[in-house]
């Protein structure tokens, strides 16, 4: 197969070319992308800046992600100070690191104060300890204090997600006073916000008013009479996954973040939560399918390494399963049909178990599975395993009989199948639940344990029964 | 293993009991849940209403989802008209169907007009054709027209997601005029919105103004001087997946929906997009792990059926792989080590291929993979497959040699491993890309094709080489 055969590639490309509806909504069209590539190739700074600066920072980031290492160095040096700091926020972690290496800590320190505080923290927390210190040292004092405080909160907590830019007013202010105050300090276009907060003199959160409500209220109304009291808020230490679940549960657009004595520290906006939701869903996917990094922009070496570590684990479990087969070499020698049929039993168990594990992992991640329905869920999966086990026992027994014309093999095949599918159902629930109990992320390791178990059980029951019954 | 052993269950439950931080943020605490269950058991209508009505509709929906079929019937009849129509919106599809069956089409028709238009459509589109007609017939005329129009848009399109409630003003209005108009018609608390739209007399979209910008502007400023022109908008026919990608790409909170001649039809709010993102991520997960329905509230029969259909497919592919083994029964009889080692080759290929497929499926879904980087991606995965293939060839050859003390088997094992991992890398990219080309969702069927291919190739190369070289 010649991978470079151009005709074939072009055909696959056609798929994307027809999706004009989407592409026209999206700033980085293939035409723009080509033109930018050419300007980089030609070292044409003026042309590059002219093409790239009208794009949304997210599109600029996409463009940079598509460049090779060399092109990236050229592009960043051509852009120089024309590189919008916002672009850093949207870059994939791999490419972000590379760009920061290229621009150096001084330029990064100049870029940080332009960003929202949550975005600044997001970039800084990915740096190496040493590098981070160098950058923070060069920040203006006000930014340095904010950043250092944010970095003192646990990783993946509300404190890292929140932005410190928000508007809070005393409860005895009127709507008119508040609006006049906002008019006196016009906001930047990017600084959209969706609620204002009402606080007491000690800056403790009293209530929240959505902008749509503020706009519809008469000027003399006092904020305390307009605000929703006891608003939904999160403690600054709360894990981001829990914050994301609250946003989803209640369809929120923003949520205030408070400290232990109810002082308002910041606000989390839904766009950062969308990223968290994606991350969490992708983590589940990665764990269940054995990928260490879903990004296609990871370097070749990173990709090989990441895949290798999962494959070596898989190899060890495969060896374990094979050593079970090794115990029954005599039997296989006498009756080679066993070697033909045994992978079917193991494969069915692995698949049925993976189904259950997937449901359990997602249900745990979304908190659909909890202390009240736990027992019900385990029992249901057990019964599903048993019923499907019986159905496939019949089918596989029939298959074995037709193939090898041997009733005993057929019976053994059926028995092994029902045993393996039953265990797959039970273990598919108990493995993730047990991992969760021991605070190990069930998404990451459940499927390795599960398929090892179903392989071992599948081979052992099938070959073991054969050894006892037939031979 | 006794599944009903209570001590063990309690220990697992402890995991959840310690998560007080999350649970205290969440309306439906175990205490409230228990009290509600008791009130249903006792047929105590007054108590049930008192306990359930202070909860957010999303929490009420969670509560209903946790009831058994019988309890649900009792709860719904006890609640009667106290059932908040909003609760329907948050229910899982399975439970939503059941509740609608219980309340009947008349009560549903009374509930629909209370809801936002997008939520109303969301519920109606899930009904059977006949049932839907009955309900729509009983709606007030204004609602009937809106709903029928929305249902005329393709499923999973922007037209189904958008709400028709939005504020649009002429471009020559001033900020003051606009705010006064909004004050004259105060909004409900739930009717939060985040932007107003500027339209021409034919209702064509001219621009967008965020509420934060409107609030910060002086009263005499005209909307046309404040608005962002050529705002990001989507056509009403656009697929929801593309809408979700735009929200993610640009961190949007809302987006106007227009028809083919740029008339403003509605607005999509981010909370509905969060649901779409979750759905799409779960669809990928379902397809890659062979689950037809991730919900743990699916009935026993639905679960068995859904799992069965995937397992039967898996059984067919396992039979295909086994029939390859069947071709080499003679060889296995002579050299039983082959039977012991062959599952390792197949399993490694399957795992390596699944890794690549997962990356490809997610990259296609998130449009990271496109016409420009397609060739690069396929080549990279091929090289990754080759390099890991070589590494595992060495390891597995060593293993085979130590286990069976036979150089020839070791060499064959190594060759088969490198071939299978190389093909896994190539097929792991080409299978999803080819499915995408033929408009088949790569998430759903890639992994079935892939594991079939790696099993067949694994068994065939390993046993075939053995047949040629050794025997």
**Tens digit of each residue's pLDDT (9 = 90 or more) over A339-357:** 999 999 999 999 999 999 9
Contact B63, B55 (CB under 8 A): yes
Q: Do A189 and B300 touch (CB under 8 A)?
A: no
**Separation in Å, CA A105 to CA B16, B87, B223, B253:** 44, 52, 43, 33
Portion 55-74 of A in contact with B at CB < 8 A: 56, 58-59, 66
Q: Do B215 and A211 touch (CB under 8 A)?
A: yes
CA distance A134 to chain B (A): 30
pLDDT at A20 over 70: no
pLDDT at B197 over 60: yes
Q: Which residues contact A154 (CB under 8 A, 6 or more apart)?
A: A160, A237, A239
Between chain A and chain B, how many beta carbons pairs sit less than 8 Å apart? Answer: 391
Q: Which residues contact A252 (CB under 8 A, 6 or more apart)?
A: A232, A246, A270, B271
Taking only the tens place, the pLDDT of each residue in A154-192 is 989 999 999 988 999 999 999 999 999 988 876 555 567
d(CA A274, CA A248): 10
pLDDT at A124 over 50: yes
CA distance A106 to chain B (A): 28
A284: closest chain B residue by CA: B285
Portion 439-468 of B in contact with A at CB < 8 A: 455
Residue B223 in tokens? 């909307």
Q: What is the mean pLDDT of residues A272-298?
A: 84
What are residue B234's DSSP bridge partners?
B257
pLDDT at position B402 is 94
Query: How do A195-199 and A168-170 pair as beta strands?
Result: parallel
Q: Do A308 and B391 touch (CB under 8 A)?
A: yes
Nearest to A294 among B274, B337, B358 (CB): B358
Question: Which of A33-70 are b and which e, b meaning 16 or more Cβ less than 10 Å from the residue's Cβ?
Answer: bebbbebbeeeebebbbebbeebbbbbbbbbbbbbeee
pLDDT band at A105 (very low <50, low <70, confident <90, very high): confident
Q: What is the mean pLDDT of residues A122-133?
A: 89
pLDDT at position A19 is 41
Q: Do A296 and B14 touch (CB under 8 A)?
A: no
Nearest to B285 among A295, A358, A403 (CB): A358
Nearest to B307 among A1, A270, A384 (CB): A384
3-state secondary structure of B258: strand
B362: closest chain A residue by CA: A294
Substitution target in A251, A310, A367 with the highest count of B β-carbons within 10 Å is: A251
Which residues of chain B have a CB within 8 Å of the CB of A6?
none
d(CA B231, CA B234): 10
Contact A3, B382 (CB under 8 A): yes
A193: closest chain B residue by CA: B212
Q: Which residues contact A305 (CB under 8 A, 6 or more apart)?
A: none
pLDDT at position B444 is 83
% of chain A exceeding 70 in pLDDT? 93
CA distance A61 to chain B (A): 10
Portion 353-372 of A in contact with B at CB < 8 A: 354-355, 357-359, 362-363, 367-372
d(CA A34, CA A38): 6
Q: What is the mean pLDDT of residues A103-112?
A: 89
Q: Which residues contact A107 (CB under 8 A, 6 or more apart)?
A: none
Q: What is the mean pLDDT of residues B321-346?
A: 93
CA distance B304 to chain A (A): 6
The order of strands in the sheet holding B234-235 is B234-235, B254-258, B264-269
A12 in contact with B, Cβ within 8 Å: yes
CA distance A392 to chain B (A): 8
pLDDT at position A339 is 94
Contact B418, B457 (CB under 8 A): no
B81 in contact with A, Cβ within 8 Å: no
**Separation in Å, CA A99 to CA A114, A166, A297, B304:** 17, 30, 14, 51
Q: Which residues contact B451 (CB under 8 A, 6 or more apart)?
A: B317, B350, B353, B354
pLDDT at B81 over 60: yes
CA distance B239 to chain A (A): 9
Which residues of chain A have a CB within 8 Å of the CB of B373?
66, 296
B229 in contact with A, Cβ within 8 Å: no
d(CA B387, CA B418): 8
pLDDT at position A367 is 80
The order of strands in the sheet holding A254-258 is A234-235, A254-258, A264-269
CA distance B123 to chain A (A): 17
d(CA B387, CA A301): 10
Q: Which residues contact A225 (CB under 8 A, 6 or more apart)?
A: none
The most confident of A189-198, A202-211, A367-376, by mean pLDDT:
A202-211
Contact B449, B418 (CB under 8 A): no
d(CA A344, CA B341): 16
Q: Which of A434-448, B219-233, B416-430 has the lowest mean pLDDT?
A: A434-448
Q: What is the mean pLDDT of residues A367-375?
A: 80
d(CA A334, CA A470): 10
Which residues of chain B have a CB within 8 Å of the CB of A179?
215
Portion 163-182 of A in contact with B at CB < 8 A: 179, 182
CA distance A259 to chain B (A): 13
Portion 379-438 of B in contact with A at CB < 8 A: 379-380, 382-384, 387-388, 391-392, 395-396, 399, 403, 426, 433-434, 436-437
Nearest to A296 among B210, B242, B369 (CB): B369
Complex confidence, ipTM: 0.82
Nearest to B358 among A183, A289, A369 (CB): A289
Domains and CATH numbers, chain B: 22-158 (1.25.60.10), 168-270 (3.10.580.10), 300-469 (1.10.357.20)
Which residues of chain B have a CB within 8 Å of the CB of A187?
212-213, 216
Nearest to A329 among B247, B269, B336 (CB): B336
Q: Shortest CA distance to B291 belongs to which of A428, A157, A139, A292?
A: A428
Substitution target in A54, A255, A274 with the highest count of B β-carbons within 10 Å is: A274
In angstroms, how far is CA A304 from the centroid of its own chain? 21
Which residues of chain B have a CB within 8 Å of the CB of A343?
318, 321-322, 325, 343, 346, 455
Substitution target in A246, A280, A318 with the highest count of B β-carbons within 10 Å is: A318
Q: Do B437 and A14 touch (CB under 8 A)?
A: yes
pLDDT at position A471 is 64
Question: Which of A272-288 are b and which e, b meaning 16 or more Cβ less than 10 Å from the residue's Cβ?
Answer: bbbbbbbebbbbbbbbb
Please provide the average confidence, as pLDDT, over all residues in chain B: 88
Q: Which of A290-299, B224-233, B274-283 has the lowest mean pLDDT?
A: A290-299
In angstroms, how far is CA B186 from the centroid of its own chain? 36
pLDDT at position A230 is 80
Which residues of chain A have a CB within 8 Å of the CB of B215?
179, 182-183, 211, 214-215
pLDDT at B168 over 50: yes
CA distance B23 to chain A (A): 9
pLDDT band at B51 (very low <50, low <70, confident <90, very high): very high
CA distance B201 to chain A (A): 24
């Amino acid at each position: 197969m010649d991978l470079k055969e151009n005709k074939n590639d072009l055909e696959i490309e056609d798929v994307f070319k027809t999706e004009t509806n989407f592409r026209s909504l999206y700033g980085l069209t293939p035409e723009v992308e080509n033109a930018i590539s050419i300007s980089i190739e030609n070292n044409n700074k003026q042309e590059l800046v002219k093409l790239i600066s009208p794009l949304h920072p997210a599109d600029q980031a996409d463009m940079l992600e598509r460049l090779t290492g060399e092109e990236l160095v050229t592009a960043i040096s051509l852009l120089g100070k024309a590189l919008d700091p916002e672009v850093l926020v949207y870059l994939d972690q791999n490419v972000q690191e590379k760009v920061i290496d290229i621009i150096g800590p001084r330029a990064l320190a100049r870029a940080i104060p332009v960003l929202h505080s949550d975005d600044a923290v997001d970039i800084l927390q990915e740096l190496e300890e040493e590098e981070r210190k160098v950058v923070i040292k060069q920040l203006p004092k006000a930014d340095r204090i904010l950043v250092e405080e944010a970095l003192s909160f646990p990783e993946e907590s509300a404190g890292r997600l929140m932005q410190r830019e928000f508007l809070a007013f005393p409860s005895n202010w009127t709507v008119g006073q508040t609006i006049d105050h906002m008019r006196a300090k016009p906001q930047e276009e990017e600084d959209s916000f969706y609620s204002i907060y009402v606080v007491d003199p000690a800056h403790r959160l009293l209530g929240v008013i959505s902008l749509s409500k503020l706009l519809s209220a008469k000027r003399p109304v006092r904020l305390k009479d307009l605000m929703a009291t006891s608003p939904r808020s999160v403690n600054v230490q709360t894990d981001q996954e829990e914050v994301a679940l609250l946003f989803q549960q209640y369809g929120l657009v923003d949520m205030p973040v408070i400290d232990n004595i109810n002082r308002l520290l910041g606000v989390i906006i839904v766009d950062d939560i969308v990223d968290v939701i994606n991350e969490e869903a992708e983590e589940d996917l990665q764990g269940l399918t054995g990928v260490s990094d879903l990004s296609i922009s990871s370097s070749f070496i990173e990709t090989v390494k990441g895949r290798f570590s999962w494959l070596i684990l898989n190899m060890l479990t495969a060896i374990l399963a094979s050593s079970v087969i090794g115990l029954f070499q005599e039997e296989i020698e006498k009756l080679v049909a066993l070697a033909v049929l045994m992978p079917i039993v193991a494969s069915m168990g692995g698949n049925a178990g993976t189904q259950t594990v997937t449901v359990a992992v997602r249900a745990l991640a979304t908190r659909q599975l909890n202390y009240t329905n736990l027992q019900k869920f385990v029992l249901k999966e057990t019964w599903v395993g048993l019923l499907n086990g019986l159905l496939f026992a019949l089918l596989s027994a029939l298959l074995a009989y037709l193939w090898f014309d041997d009733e005993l093999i057929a019976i053994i095949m059926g028995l092994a199948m029902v045993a393996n599918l039953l265990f797959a159902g039970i273990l598919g629930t108990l493995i993730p639940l047990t991992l969760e109990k021991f605070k190990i992320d069930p998404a990451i390791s459940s499927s390795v344990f599960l398929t090892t178990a179903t392989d071992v059980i599948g081979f052992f029951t099938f070959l073991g029964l054969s050894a006892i019954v037939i031979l």
